[in-house]
Structure 1
């Protein structure tokens, strides 16, 4: 990036901060702060180990420094400005989740457009929120579009703030479905032959929420698909599973036809073939419903995370706090464009043109000198795809 481009972006970032009210996180004075300035060269050097007291008034700091990126820590410390983590004296930390489109299994890099990647990331966000709100019943959630490739969720419920790394690791494992065993989802009840050497047991899949509920939902959907097929097609479909041959397939199909109400209640003891079939759907539930969070972010009690309201130096988009009921309608490539960059065009020299989707429009940008809407030009300059044209 050439100096005139950096100078232009520094100035326009400052203009944004002059007209934008930034709300700091709770306990802002107990957190470490860091930022990345618009420095020369390809490397970006983080300035960190700063307390809010050292930065001064946050709004004035942002106008004065107009940083490329600005962060605060999930951790809260007795001395956040100390130069070493040990000396900071950790007290507590938000539970933070990061979804990054580049790391999603559903995203095909080089094929999916930026808009498609962000749409898939929002789908993953809804899965994450299902875990946080329903499985864990967390109440104090802050949802943030990162301004770049995904979303952050900050959990500030009092009962999670003091969790150590290993306990946060357990939450990660649950959300990712790591190590999930089908037997953990089963409840057993003796129903006949009490006192016998081998009493009869009813095994029931837990269907009220959690991984049991997700497994049950996928299993019942599969059963309903089977029952809509003719017998030969249904048997062939069942035999696609390893370990289910012709006999077990016929037994499972017969059990599904005659015991739909029992399967709906989660009873997997109607036939051993049904139990074996249901077990396959625990892994399917994990594959389809887990939230592919960036695991080190959640387990790191000192992690620096992007400040909501700030600008992302790699896109020129704003980091946006979102209410839960705003998510369905939120379009990051429209709603995260700063008002500062709307309403006028600027001249740039395009190095790497192509299709750009921003502001609800699609632009085919050619290489060379161009006049573009400023938010498109800022996006391209921030990504190293254009330089500010010489005056």
Structure 2
């Protein structure tokens, strides 16, 4: 990034911070704060081990220094400004989840547009929230668009604050269904006085597998026999003979399948259940049902000292706002519109585009060849922050 571009972006970030009031996180004075300034060259320098006392008034600091990135710690400390982690006096930490569009299964950053990656990441976010709400019953959660490629979820329930890294890793393993014991989804239960192996349908992964099983069986019942046979044989471990057995069980014992009785129909139904379970948790098995896991970034969740982006700040790699979101806003939230700072939408600027680029931002699409262009400022800031353009004199 050239000096002119760096100075321009820092100046516009400064103007942004002069026009906003930002809410601090809970216990802000017990958290470590960090930031990345607009240094010259290709590298970046993280300045951390600071408390609010070290920064002075945060609003004044942001308006005067206008850093490229701003962070605070998930953890709360007795002495957050201590220069060594061992001296800070760790007390507790939020449980933080990070979803990054670049790391989503099936998303190739080289072949997928920014808008498409963000859309896929929002889908993953909704799956994560479903797991956190239904399986863990967390009540104090905060959702944040990162300003870059994804979303953060902060959980501040008292029950998680003092979990160590290994305990947090167990939560990660559950959400990602790492090494999930499929046999453990089945229990032995008395049915009409007779012991039966029955799928656990009350909650968790057992409930999800059962719901997908019922949806799959409902589809089979709507098909003619040949189509149903073909559909079944798309699943691993099911050949023609096993498919015939399954269809017979579906016709003869629909109530038993509804109850999750895996013995109804013999080994055929058990094979079907295993195939549906593998798909539900994302194990390859025909690819029919989308996995219901959430591809969270494990190191972020297990790191009890993690620095995370400050909501309301600007992301120095995009020029977009880090946005705190209410649950009711998620369905309609479009980061490429709603995270664009209003401060950057009222004029055009001249930039030198390095390579041909196209995209969508602020509700408009753009297609630019390499060379000099006059563009809406929010587009110019976005391209310059991403290293795709440089500022030129007007």
Alignment of 1:24-173 (within 5 A): 24-173=24-173
Give me the whole-angstrom Cα distance separating, in 2, the residues matched to 1:227 and 1:83. Answer: 65
Q: Specify the SS of the correspondent of 1:289.
A: coil
CA distance in 1, matches of 2:248, 2:125: 39
1:329 aligns with 332
Query: Does the C-alpha gap of structure 1 residues 236 and 346 become closer, same or farther in structure 2, counting only changes over 3 Å?
Result: closer
Following superposition of structure 1 onto structure 2, how do residues 227-306 of structure 1 map, counting pairs within 5 Å?
Answer: 227-272=221-266, 273-287=268-282, 288-306=291-309
Answer whether contact 2:248 2:265 (CA < 8 A) is retained: no
Q: Is the 8 A contact 1:106 1:120 kept in 2?
A: no
- CA drift of 1:118 comes to 0.3
Cα separation, 1, equivalents of 2:358 and 2:89 = 49
User: Which SS does the other structure have where 1:159 is aligned?
Assistant: helix
Q: How does 1:366-377 map to 2 (within 5 A)?
A: 366-377=369-380
Question: How many pairs were matched up?
Answer: 385
C-alpha separation between the residues in 1 aligned to 2:339 and 2:365? 16
Within-5 A mapping of 1:345-364 = 345-364=348-367
CA contact (8 A) 1:72 1:304 kept: yes
* Structure 2 unaligned blocks of 5 or more: 283-290
Asked if 1:378 corresponds to 2:373, the answer is no
Query: Can you list the C-alpha shifts for 1:19-58, whole angstroms capped at 9, x where unaligned?
Result: 0111111101111111000000000010011111100111
- 8 Å Cα contact 2:148-2:318 kept in structure 1: yes
In structure 2, the residue matched to 1:208 is: 202
C-alpha separation between the residues in 1 aligned to 2:351 and 2:226?
Answer: 64
State the 1:352 CA deviation. 2.2
How far apart, in 1, do the equivalents of 2:192 and 2:378 lie? Answer: 71
1:44-74 C-alpha deviation (Å, 9 max, x unpaired) = 0100111111001110010111000010000
CA deviation string 1:331-384 (max 9, x = no partner): 000000011101111111111232120011101112211111000000001011
* In structure 2, distance between residues paired with 1:342 and 1:268: 59
Q: CA deviation at 1:192?
A: 7.3
| TM-score normalised according to structure 2 size | 0.95
Deviations 1:221-265 (A, max 9, x none): 221222222223323333344433333222211001122222122
Q: Distance in 2 between matches of 1:332 and 1:245?
A: 46
Match of residue 288 from structure 2: none
C-alpha distance in 2, partners of 1:265/1:246? 26
User: How far apart, in 1, do the equivalents of 2:383 and 2:227 lie?
Assistant: 53
Q: Secondary structure at the match of 1:379?
A: helix
Question: Residues of 2 paired with 1:353 and 1:130: CA distance?
Answer: 40
Q: Is the 8 A contact 2:78 2:89 kept in 1?
A: yes
> 2:213 & 2:5 partners in 1: Cα distance?
56
**Distance across 2 between alignment mates of 1:362 and 1:53:** 44
- Residues 128, 294 of structure 2: 8 Å contact kept: yes
Cα distance between partner residues in 2 of 1:331 and 1:209 = 32
The answer to whether the 8 A contact 1:353-1:365 is kept is: yes
In structure 2, how many angstroms separate the alpha carbons of the residues matched to 1:240 and 1:348? Answer: 53
| In structure 2, C-alpha distance between the alignment counterparts of 1:36 and 1:70, rounded to whole Å | 7
**Cα distance between partner residues in 1 of 2:3 and 2:172:** 42
> Using the alignment, how far apart are the partners of 2:346 and 2:164 within structure 1?
48
Q: Secondary structure at the match of 2:158?
A: coil
